[in-house]
Amino acid sequence: MQVRRLSHNQNMPVRLDSEDSETKALLDFVGSFAGKRVLEIGCGDGRLTWRYAKHAARVVAIDPDEDEIRVALEDRPHDVRVEFRAVGIEDFDAPDSVFDTAILSWTL
């Protein structure tokens, strides 16, 4: 199992999902992402985002931590388009947006 340190808290290890259990659970819940408009709440550094985003029609990923959004942008695969916003859900405003599904993973 891979372990990596969070960018903003070097003392807190994050265990990466080497067995893809989280990805499998996500796909069991959502099914196919093909053509879907997705809102990811609490996207953090994009760890989960990159597992599904290339299949979705549109992804808006939000997180209140600007440092995590910065890491997500740095790690973004060149062939995946995701709109990242450094904002919490309580301040998120997208009056003209419609989403097919919303994802919250490890979000408090």
DSSP for 31-57, please give it: ---TT-EEEEES-TTSTTHHHHGGGSS
Q: What is the pLDDT of residue 84?
A: 96
- Arithmetic mean of pLDDT, 60-75: 95
Which are the contacts of 3, defined by CB distance < 8 A and separation ≥ 6?
13, 14, 15, 16
Q: How confident is the model at residue 85 (pLDDT cuts 50, 70, 90)?
A: very high
* pLDDT tens sequence across 23-60: 788 888 888 999 999 999 999 999 889 889 999 999 99
How many structural domains compose the chain?
1
Indicate which CATH number applies to the domain containing 58: 3.40.50.150
Q: Which segments of the chain does DSSP mark as H helices, in order?
A: 21-30, 49-52, 66-75
Task: Judge whether residue 16 has pLDDT over 70.
Answer: no
Return d(Cα 1, Cα 28) in angstroms, integer. 23
CA angle 46, 41, 22 (to 5 degrees): 60
Domain hosting 43: range is 27-104
Which are the contacts of 21, defined by CB distance < 8 A and separation ≥ 6?
none
In a domain, 19, yes or no: no
In a domain, 31, yes or no: yes
Q: In the chain, what percentage of residues exceed pLDDT 90?
A: 51
In a domain, 2, yes or no: no
- Arithmetic mean of pLDDT, 93-103: 88
In a domain, 91, yes or no: yes
Q: What is the pLDDT of residue 3?
A: 41
In a domain, 48, yes or no: yes
Return d(Cα 51, Cα 87) in angstroms, integer. 22
In a domain, 61, yes or no: yes
- Arithmetic mean of pLDDT, 70-82: 90
Q: How confident is the model at residue 108 (pLDDT cuts 50, 70, 90)?
A: low
